[in-house]
Amino acid sequence: MDATLLAAVSRNVRDALDEDRGIIDWTSQLINADTEAHATLMVRQEATLCGRPWFDEALLQVDDRLEVNWFVGEGAPMEPGDAVCEIAGPARGILTAERTALNFIQMLSAVATATKLLVERIRGTRARVFDTRKTLPGLRLAQKYAVGVGGGSNHRLGLYDGILIKENHIHASGGIAAAIRASRALEADVPIQVEVEDLGELAEALAHGATSILLDNFSLEQMREAVMLNGGNAELEVSGGVSDLTILAIAQTGVDRISVGGLTKNIQAVDFSLRFADTPEASRP
């Protein structure tokens, strides 16, 4: 995990704890400060595990005496009823960190699980599954990390590391040719991709040397025609109307990339449960 992602982990967890704990977790004060506890994290459904760094960081930031023993590796499959990890240490710390830690691992495991499903659907084709910038605000690096854990690939991280010429950019800059020329004139040393909405626009983009083209909401027949028209000159990406039911047919048209915004914006949390192994002493401080 590189320094940028490590910083994001720390920042994500700090912000989440700040909004949840605020100045104090009043309910945890019901537990004696000296009470030690063991808690086990269980999963209740089939899923791919993702988010261990965020889970660990939540515990660490609350109380660095908390220890985690993981039974499942990052990116590994889980079955209903599996014990995922065990936490040992001050009961107050476990209780304060619990919701934040669970929120991260539930959300990131959901992204990784959804990604892995689509990756497996198209195994054996040339196409790869990509994410988009349709991410939860403030959690982009976390969610894109989860896509990678699930076997998918990352599109540009943000506006700063790639040029994607979409419909509104084309209209505002005077057309596809003008937009491509303007992009090259920037000498930004970042990838340039052009979005097209029909075969005519595809032909125009190819005529002006586009090497990466996004086919927006093309039908399967149009995708096949686009692959033939392209002749291997540009990398073709498809977006729109992608689901686990449609992705194989899309991949079989011969396109190179399939981008799926739903991987990071239409997710349902994986069901985890954290339970104390033994009831801590019910003494008051």
Pairing of strands 192-196, 163-165: parallel
Confirm whether 166 is a catalytic residue: yes
Q: Given 57, 131, 195, 201, which residue is catalytic? A: 195
Distance CA 27, CA 92 (A): 9
Spatial neighbors of 215 by CB under 8 A, at least 6 apart, are: 196, 202, 222, 223, 226, 236, 237, 238, 239, 255
The answer to whether the beta carbons of residues 247 and 225 sit under 8 Å apart is no
Instruction: Describe the strand order of the beta sheet including 67-70 as a list of residue ranges.
Output: 67-70, 83-90, 36-43, 272-276
144 catalytic per annotation: no
3-state secondary structure of 24: coil
Three-class DSSP category at 139: coil
Q: Which of 99, 133, 181, 265 is catalytic?
A: 99
Q: Name the residue with tokens 């700040």.
A: 18
| 46 contacts 79 by C-beta, under 8 angstroms | yes
Q: From the candidates 11, 21, 133, 166, which is the catalytic residue? A: 166
CB-CB contact of 182 with 173 (8 Å): yes
Specify whether 116 is catalytic: no
Annotated active-site residue in 74, 86, 216, 271? 216
Among 133, 134, 224, 265, which one carries the catalytic annotation? 134
Q: Give the dihedral sign, CA 170/175/180/184.
A: negative
The terminus-to-terminus CA distance of the chain in angstroms comes to 40
* Active-site residue set: 99, 134, 166, 195, 216
